[in-house]
Structure 1
Amino acid sequence: MIRGMPGSRTPTPLTVPHAATAQRPAWPELPSAVQDWIVDQLGSPVISAISERSGYTPGFAARLVLADGRRLFAKVAGWGREWLLDSYAKEATKRRTLPDAVPAPELITDARTVIDSVDWQLLIFTEIDGRPPHRPWTVDDIRIAVRTVEAAARALTPAPAGYPWQPLSAELGELSPDKEEMITERFGDHAAEMRELVAALPERCNGTTLVHADLRDDNMIIGADGRGWIVDWNFPLLGRQWIDLVTLLISVRGDGWDADAILAASPLVGPGDREAIDTLLADLALYYAIASGSPEPDGSPYLREHQRWSREVVADWLAERRNWPRGH
Structure 2
Amino acid sequence: MSPRAVGVRAGFAEMPAALRAWVVEVLGSPIVETREMTGGMSPGCATRVRCADGRRAFVKAVGTPLNPDTPTMFRREAAVLGLLGQHPLWAALQASYDDDEWVGLVLEDVEGAHPDLAEEATIGALLAATDSLGAVLAERVPSPDAAAHGFNDFRVAATNWAASFDDVRRLDEVPVPDWVRDDLDGWQAKVAGLAAYDVECLQHWDIRNDNLVQRPDGSIVFVDWGQAMVGPVWLDPLLARLERAEDPWFDGSLASSSALAAAGDDTVTTWLVGFGTMLAVRTVTAADINLPTLAAFRRSESTRMLTAAARRLDLGAHLPEQ
Q: Which residue of 103, 115, 123 corresponds with 2:105?
A: 123
1:202 correspondence with 2:195: yes
CA change 1:245–1:163 in 2 (3 A) is closer
How far is the alpha carbon of 1:150 from its aligned partner? 1.2
CA change 1:297–1:188 in 2 (3 A) is closer
Whole-angstrom CA distance in 2 between matches of 1:59 and 1:124? 14
1:75 correspondence with 2:43: no
Whole-angstrom CA distance in 1 between matches of 2:237 and 2:302? 17
* Residue equivalent to 1:297: 288
Whole-angstrom CA distance in 1 between matches of 2:87 and 2:17? 38
Return the letter of the residue paired with 2:135: R
Contact 1:212 1:235 in 2 (8 A): yes
How far is the alpha carbon of 1:92 from its aligned partner? 0.7
Whole-angstrom CA distance in 1 between matches of 2:295 and 2:76? 25
Structure 1 window deviating more from structure 2 (289-298 vs 184-193): it is: 184-193
Aligned residues: 305
Q: How large is the Cα RMSD of the aligned pairs? A: 2.7
Return the letter of the residue paired with 2:30: P
Structure 1 window deviating more from structure 2 (311-320 vs 192-201): it is: 192-201
* Residue equivalent to 2:150: none
CA change 1:142–1:176 in 2 (3 A) is closer
SS at match of 2:107: strand
TM-score by length of 1: 0.83
Q: Which residue of 137, 149, 159 corresponds with 2:130?
A: 149
* Residue equivalent to 1:7: none
How far is the alpha carbon of 1:113 from its aligned partner? 3.8
SS at match of 2:110: coil
* Residue equivalent to 1:168: 154
Gaps of 5+ in 1: 1-16
Whole-angstrom CA distance in 1 between matches of 2:17 and 2:58? 19
Gaps of 5+ in 2: 148-152
Whole-angstrom CA distance in 2 between matches of 1:177 and 1:19? 28
* Residue equivalent to 1:270: 261
Q: Which residue of 40, 51, 60 corresponds with 1:55?
A: 40
How far is the alpha carbon of 1:83 from its aligned partner? 2.4
Return the letter of the residue paired with 1:269: L
Contact 2:161 2:278 in 1 (8 A): no
* Residue equivalent to 1:190: 183
* Residue equivalent to 1:45: 30
Return the letter of the residue paired with 2:222: I
* Residue equivalent to 1:261: 252
Question: What are the superposed Cα offsets for residues 113-151 of structure 1, whole Å, 9 maximum, x if unpaired?
Answer: 48xxxx33221111111111227x222221122112111
Contact 2:254 2:261 in 1 (8 A): no
Task: Among all aligned residue pairs of Structure 1 and Structure 2, give the percentage whose two residues are the same amino acid.
Answer: 21
TM-score by length of 2: 0.84
Q: Which residue of 74, 93, 97 corresponds with 1:111?
A: 97
Whole-angstrom CA distance in 2 between matches of 1:100 and 1:29? 30
